[in-house]
């Protein structure tokens, strides 16, 4: 109940009051499930009503975007690193104002660099919601308040790009641990495209945490209710899409079990 109430508070804070009132679920509509993901985790979730199966509805990602049917997020400390994905769609714009930066350096930046980059007065920035090739959503900062997606990216002169390329290559040659391969490849791509601003790609922090649902089990209604009369279930034939999804889920589960088996065989072999 506490989790249900906290989720409704979050919904009311995020949405206009009228919309929140219309879509916020009522406790008596909520049905509890245990869901197993292809990472092996078992999480409890709720759907609206007992007919809404967890693997047949869409769940949301960290930016409240819809994930694919059958996917859910599961946060693991050892998840693979985020990768760059191309931006395919520019969505909503919002403006944020920030106070002046302190004189003392922050975020581990050295004094000289901080003096160059710090804002000595309050300032505003524009953020755009973007959809990436993987379908996930994130925020991108615009080069300035006036910039619109139709303007396209701004680019540096060929001369400046050549200078920057030389500086970066020298830095990487002299500092092998300065940036990892992922960051270097990204920088090289940006340099080869004339150092565009905003960049046409960004890291997706959702991809590493997206998992497939492989099984689910009923727990029951959130609020206790009188016993329901046994209903004669009328079975509908499954749709092609749901069969395909179930096959994908079964394959993911088989793959997880195969990995587990290999691991335990390795342990046994020691």
- Binding stretches for Zn ion (CB under 5 A): 39, 41, 74, 134, 136, 204, 206-207
Separation of CA 67 from chain center = 9
Nearer to Zn ion, 35 or 207 (CB): 207
Nearer to Zn ion, 151 or 255 (CB): 255
The residue behind tokens 């899409």 is 241
- Least Å distance, CB 257 to Zn ion, is 15
Beta-strand ranges (E) seen in the chain are: 30-37, 42-48, 71-73, 83-98, 123-132, 137-141, 201-204, 210-221
- Least Å distance, CB 77 to Zn ion, is 11
- Least Å distance, CB 40 to Zn ion, is 6
- Least Å distance, CB 182 to Zn ion, is 15
Nearer to Zn ion, 50 or 129 (CB): 129
Nearer to Zn ion, 142 or 213 (CB): 213
Which CA distances in Å does 143 have to 11, 107, 124, 148?
31, 21, 11, 9
Nearer to Zn ion, 33 or 147 (CB): 33
Rounded distance between C-alpha atoms, residue 199 and residue 141, angstroms: 9
Structure tokens at 160: 């400046």
- The helix/strand/coil state of 149 is helix
Task: Give Cβ neighbours of residue 142 (< 8 Å, ≥ 6 apart).
Answer: 93, 125, 126, 127, 128, 198
Structure tokens at 225: 């209710």
- Least Å distance, CB 140 to Zn ion, is 14
Nearer to Zn ion, 15 or 134 (CB): 134
- Least Å distance, CB 130 to Zn ion, is 11
């Amino acid at each position: 109940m506490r989790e249900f109430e906290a989720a409704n508070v979050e919904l009311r804070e995020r949405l206009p009051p009228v919309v929140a009132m219309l879509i916020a679920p009522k406790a008596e509509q909520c049905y509890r499930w245990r869901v197993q993901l292809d990472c092996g985790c078992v999480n409890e979730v709720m759907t609206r009503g007992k007919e809404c199966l967890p693997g047949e509805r869409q769940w949301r990602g960290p930016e409240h975007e819809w994930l694919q049917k059958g996917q859910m997020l599961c946060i693991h400390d050892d998840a693979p690193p985020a990768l760059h994905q191309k931006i395919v769609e520019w969505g909503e714009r919002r403006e944020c104002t920030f106070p002046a930066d302190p004189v003392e350096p922050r975020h581990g930046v050295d004094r000289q660099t901080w003096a160059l980059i710090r804002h000595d007065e309050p300032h505003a920035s524009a953020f755009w919601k973007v959809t990436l090739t993987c379908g996930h959503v994130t925020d991108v900062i615009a080069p300035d308040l006036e910039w619109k997606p139709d303007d396209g990216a701004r680019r540096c002169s060929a001369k400046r790009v050549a200078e920057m390329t030389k500086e970066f290559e020298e830095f990487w040659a002299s500092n092998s641990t300065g940036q990892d391969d992922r960051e270097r490849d990204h920088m090289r791509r940006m340099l080869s495209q004339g150092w565009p601003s905003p960049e046409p790609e960004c890291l997706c922090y959702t991809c590493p945490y997206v998992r497939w649902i492989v099984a689910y089990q009923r727990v029951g209604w959130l609020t206790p209710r009188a016993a329901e009369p046994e209903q004669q279930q009328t079975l509908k034939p499954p749709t092609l899409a749901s069969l395909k999804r179930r096959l994908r889920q079964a394959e993911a589960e088989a793959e997880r079990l195969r990995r587990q088996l290999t691991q335990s065989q390795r342990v046994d072999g020691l």
